[in-house]
Every structure is written in C-alpha cells, then in structure tokens.
Structure 1
Amino acid sequence: MKEIVSLFALKLFALVIIVSTAIIPARSQELHKYTSFKTGGEWLDTDGVHIDCHGGNILYVEHLKTFYWYGEHRGQPRGASCYSSTDLYNWKKEGVVIEKGDIQVFERPKVVYDEVNKRYVMWFHYDGTLNGRGYGIAELGIAISDSPTGPFVLQDHYRPNGHESRDIGMYFEPDTKKAYIGYAADHVNLTIRMVELSEDYLSTTTNDVDIEAHCEGPGILKKDGTYYLLTSQCSGWTPNPGTYYTASSIMGPYTSQGIPFIGDAGNNSFNSQPCFIFKIPGYKDAFLYMGDRWNGGGSPKSEYVFLPITITEKGKMEIHWRNEWDLSIFTPERKRH
C-alpha cells in the first residue's frame, strides 16, 4: 500500500512540474507586455531580456505592417541586432542580423527599404585604428539584405567624397523617395555634412555639403517645409545639452536655434544622446525622439530615452520629459476613402 501511495505522489509531483513549466513562459511573457513607453530604465523584449539595440533607427515596412528596430548589438556576437513590433511598445528579438567580424568599430546602423529592388540597405559607422590613431579609419559601411531580419551582407566601406565619417543619422524623404545621411565629419567631428544617397541607396552622390555644425548624433525631421536637425555635442559617452538647427532645404544652410529639451535640470538632454527621429505612421505630426542613455559607456544594458517631439505653432522644437506615455497623445490621421 505504501508503494502505491509513493508512486501516486511521485506521478502527481511530476505532473505539477510539467504544468508549472508550461505556465511559467506564458506568465513571463505576460509580465513583460507593455501598453506604454516607460522612459529610461530597463526595457524587456518578449523573451524577458533587456533590449540590446543601440544607436540605431526604426523602420516601418508598410506591406508587412511591422516596425523593425535596428541598432548596435553590444553583447556577443557584436554587430547589429533587429527587433520587430506591431505596436512600438513590445519587441521581439529577431537576432543579430550582421556580425562585425573583423570590423574594429561597428556603430550607429541605419536601415532604409528599397521599394524598387525589394531589399533593405544598412549604412553604419565603419571605423578602427589607422596609423596608430583610434577611430582613424572613419568610413561609412554599407550592407544589404533581401529580408528585414537579415542576414545583411557587407558590400563596401569608404570615406564619402574623401571626408572622414563617424556618427551618422539618416533621413528618408517620403515624397521624393530620396535618402540622406548626416555624418559627423573630418578630424575630429569638426562639422556635420549632409550627403544624398543614390537612387538605389547603395552609394553616396557628390551632393555633399558642409552644414557647419560642430556636433554628432544627428536626427532629422521635416514639418511644414522646414527641416529640423537635432544633434549632441562631442563629449564621448558623457551626455550633454543637445542643440537643434533649422533649414528650408535638407542640404541647408542651417541656423542654430538652441536647446529643445525643456525643463532639463541636468542640462544633459535628459541624460541621453540622440540617434534618430522616427515619424510614426498613422498619426499627425507624430515624431519620436530616440535617445541612448549610455551610462558612461556602451554596454548591452545601456538604456533608452524615447520621448515625443513637439513643433510649436511658432516653429520651435520642444522635448518634454515624461516618465510614462503612449501614442494616444498624438492625433490619428484621417483615413482616406
């Protein structure tokens, strides 16, 4: 009789373990279901792991109805990671889409979709030691993929029109389908230059101008015919007060307009550095500030500061701190029938 009871108890214990194992992943994912942006701090993917995707950009692919977030993967293997989402709050890790391999420095990947050739083109900061000087190579790197989730294959790397290139930003013009890269240029980041890409986005053109701004980390938006360029100063991993510039043409000339971070007590862009400005589809004038909180150095645990950008009636850029917010602050665009 004791043997029967013991056997029953053992089977019951095994059943409890099996059921618990099945429930825990579901509960784990449920715990990490977001319905808003929580600015700074830990941000978990759908597997419950902190998102490792820094200095990048978000791309919305219309025919897939999906957002793709690309950025530096600072864990192992190093390179660029990709996460996918349908709501901008909850992100599934799609993996490392390109490994840096022999590239000494791989930073700030930006991806654009080529609708004509149905491929994805990644531009990034390609760098390393040259003649004993760190960050001396100072080039743009280009990689392509037939899928948004990679793998991306390196195509080329070079200095655009002979200019050194480090931190980069990207702007895509929906009306003309043209793409531009703003890059911190020359030794060392003495200015930002703006260069137009070729029609297939695979090379830079000679339409390359100096916009005379000593800064890095550029992000760009356009509203009512005015271009807004948001940048940080050059202070390494240490945050600083960002500045924005305006122009009537993407190629400039740009005029400095001051600091857009309102109520920034630390005078350090809310302890962040800009990397991209994303125009959120489906809403009127919905601009998302994407900032990195490096905490003194790039690591897989570096955090993110995502905040809405306001362009006031007087044409001023303002970024206000919000501990938590969601897309309901924006006005939905009316659907055309």
Structure 2
Amino acid sequence: MNTRSLGFVKRLGIAVLLMGVGIGAIRVPSLAQKPTAYASFKPGAVWLADDGLPIDCHGGNIIYSDSLKTFYWYGEHRAEPRGAACYSSKDLYNWKNEGVVLKKGAIDVFERPKVIYDATRHQYVMWFHYDGNRYTVAELGVAISDKPTGPFVVQHHSRPNGHESRDIGLFRDPETKKAYIGYAADHVNRTIRMVELSGDYLSTTAQDTDIEAHCEGPGILKQDGVYYLLTSGCSGWTPNPATYYTASSLMGPYTSQGNPFIGDVGNNSFNSQPCYIFKIPGYKNAYLYMGDRWNGGGHADSQYVFLPITITPAGKMELHWYAEWNLNLFTPEKTAR
C-alpha cells in the first residue's frame, strides 16, 4: 500500500472508531472500481454493481416485476449498515444498488431474506431468519413494503407452529398460487419442514409437515407436476455435496435423489451453498440456481455461483459447471415477456 493510501486508511480508521464500528465492517465508496457492463454470468467471479462496488446481497432471492419490467435481487447486506440489500436489473447481468431496504437494527441475527409480491394487496412481503446472538431464538420474521425498493417494516417474528426455524426457502406454486416456506427446523437444523403461508403471505398456517431430511439451504422448483427440493448438508460456512428430493405434493412425502451437481470434483456443490431457485420469465423451463460462495465466513465480499438448472427428459435434476454462460442456453417462450 502506498503512503497516500495508508494515510487515507488511517484517517478513515479514526473516524470509524469514533463511530463505534470496525473498519472491516464498512464499504468505502472511494475504493469503488469502474463499473463493468456485463453480458453473461461468471460464477464465482467478483461481480460489481453500478456503483463499482462488489454486490453485497447474500442468501436471498430474485423476483420479477412484470409491471415494472424489472428484476429485484434481495439478500443479506453484510457490510454496514447490516440488513437486507436490494439490487435491480433489466437483464439479470447488470445490477443497480438500491441500498439497504431493511436495517437490521436491534435484530442480533438477520439472515436469508426472501421476498414475494402480493398482487391483491399490492405489497411486497419479506420473510427472513430472525435470531439472537446465541442462535437459539430461531424464528421467522416478516416485513412489508409498498415498493420493491423499500423501506420494509418488520411486522412480527415467531416460531412456525412452535418449531425452530433457521435457513429458509420461499416458493409460490405456479398453479395454485399458494406460497410456502421450507425451513431448516429443530435442534440445529435436524430436519427440513414445509409450511403453507396465509393468503396474504403475512403469517404461517397449521399446514406444516416434516420432510425428514437433515439439511438446510432449501431451494424449490416445480416442473411437469413434480416438486424438486434442493438442499445442502449442515456444515456451517463450509460447502458440501448437495442433495435433491422429489415429490408429487409439495407437502411430501419426498424421495432422496442424490447429488445433482455433475462433475463436482470437489464434492462441494462447485464450492457453493444453495439459497434459491429462480424461474426466469420469458424462457421455457428456465431455472437459475442461486448459490453463495461464503469463503469460510459471512463476508460482505463473498462471491455468488449462478448456474442453469436442467431437468432431464427422465426427470432428473442436473447442474453442470460453466465458467461463463448466458441466457441463450435457454429456449425462449413463444409469447413475449
């Protein structure tokens, strides 16, 4: 580091200490790089937003607003201020930083935010893992906003039907329009449970079942009447081989189908952990695997592994590694988005 840069960092460090936060917890706009125009995904590579800073949006999900013709990516903002980040995009490659849309504030642990849009009430609903600093509270939290870019306001938090809840996945059935949360439940993620949400998406119902699998990081898709549940094992920040399950009903029973990552020589889901499966509009059976590459901890600059998911003619889920790819891998639908 040159003397000029060192002096800047020293001055910045003093200011940060006066504010009572650590220098490693903030992002410095003056250190931003020149924004890059992207035309593809590069899994595991540094991904810059329009502000020239690495995207800081972990463990979340993507939704698409048909009225606004815009994608919104929500996730954990792990730099200060901590909370839920939102980025917007027109093409899934280039993202605009919309800021922190829900500040963690007094919440000790805020993880895995997932957003769904309630078209009837015209509001955005965010579910997340709410916890204490000893990781024993284990509740679901919910917040709402009338705009996709927030601010979101916390409504309540509780354990679904009395069960512990940590890692969560969110899924809306394309046929029934009912929404569900898959959550890692009970005694440090002993199992995955599936719970149906109320019609306004603001609370859980008594429709809650145990799929009897010791796993976390659930992602869900549906194709040809079959539900696919993708999960990771429980190994903290360390990636591990994934497992997927299938069922004819979202509430189960589920059958284990093994590891869908093909050619995964590291046996670690291409060095990633699943957080969501996004069905890409405008393409036939186009599913985007959203994975986090945590690099040993929940760092603000941890990378992302976005890959296409294939459901074979035999009904098998497969993920193959691509160092670079784009949406041309998918077949466009006949009707325009």
TM-score (norm 2): 0.89
Counterpart residue number, 1:23: none
CA distance in 2, matches of 1:29, 1:285: 36
Counterpart residue number, 2:166: 166
Counterpart residue number, 2:132: 128
Query: Which one of 40, 46, 50 corresponds to residue 54 of structure 2?
Result: 50
Listed as ranges, the matches of 1:180-195 within 5 Å are 180-195=180-195
Structure 1: 4+ residue segments shifted above 3 A = 28-31
8 Å CA contact 1:72–1:106 kept in 2: the answer is: yes
8 Å CA contact 1:294–1:303 kept in 2: the answer is: yes
The alignment partner of 2:166 has SS state of strand
Query: Which one of 61, 64, 71 corresponds to residue 67 of structure 1?
Result: 71
Deviation at 1:300, TM superposition (A): 0.8
The alignment partner of 1:205 has SS state of strand
CA distance in 2, matches of 1:326, 1:74: 28
The alignment partner of 1:63 has SS state of coil
CA distance in 2, matches of 1:41, 1:31: 15
Counterpart residue number, 1:10: none
CA distance in 2, matches of 1:176, 1:47: 40
8 Å CA contact 2:172–2:179 kept in 1: the answer is: yes
The alignment partner of 2:328 has SS state of helix
The alignment of Structure 1 onto Structure 2 pairs a total of residues equal to: 306
Deviation at 1:175, TM superposition (A): 2.3
Counterpart residue number, 2:320: 320
1:208 aligns to 2:212 (yes or no): no
Deviations 1:70-110 (A, max 9, x none): 00000000000000000000000000000010100000000
Counterpart residue number, 1:272: 272
**Bigger Cα Rg:** 1
The alignment partner of 1:249 has SS state of coil
Counterpart residue number, 2:99: 95
CA distance in 2, matches of 1:146, 1:281: 23
Deviation at 1:176, TM superposition (A): 2.0
CA distance in 1, matches of 2:172, 2:298: 27
8 Å CA contact 1:110–1:170 kept in 2: the answer is: yes
Counterpart residue number, 1:296: 296
Deviation at 1:274, TM superposition (A): 0.1
CA distance in 1, matches of 2:306, 2:136: 31
Deviation at 1:30, TM superposition (A): 7.7
1:255 aligns to 2:244 (yes or no): no
8 Å CA contact 1:77–1:96 kept in 2: the answer is: yes
Deviations 1:229-251 (A, max 9, x none): 00000000000000000000111
Listed as ranges, the matches of 1:114-153 within 5 Å are 114-129=118-133, 134-153=134-153
CA distance in 2, matches of 1:332, 1:30: 33
The alignment partner of 1:34 has SS state of coil
CA distance in 2, matches of 1:31, 1:77: 22
8 Å CA contact 1:29–1:46 kept in 2: the answer is: no
Counterpart AA for 1:127: D
8 Å CA contact 1:178–1:196 kept in 2: the answer is: yes
Counterpart residue number, 1:21: none
Deviations 1:126-182 (A, max 9, x none): 0014xxxx2100000000000000000000000000000000001111222211000
Counterpart residue number, 1:85: 89
8 Å CA contact 2:35–2:49 kept in 1: the answer is: no
8 Å CA contact 2:260–2:319 kept in 1: the answer is: yes
Counterpart AA for 2:312: T
Identify unmatched segments of 5+ residues in structure 2: 1-31
Counterpart AA for 2:89: S
Counterpart AA for 2:307: L
The alignment partner of 2:86 has SS state of strand
Counterpart residue number, 2:7: none
8 Å CA contact 2:49–2:96 kept in 1: the answer is: yes
Give the root-mean-square deviation of aligned CA atoms.
Answer: 1.3
Counterpart residue number, 1:225: 225
CA distance in 2, matches of 1:31, 1:238: 31
The alignment partner of 2:161 has SS state of helix
Counterpart AA for 1:45: A
Deviation at 1:326, TM superposition (A): 0.3
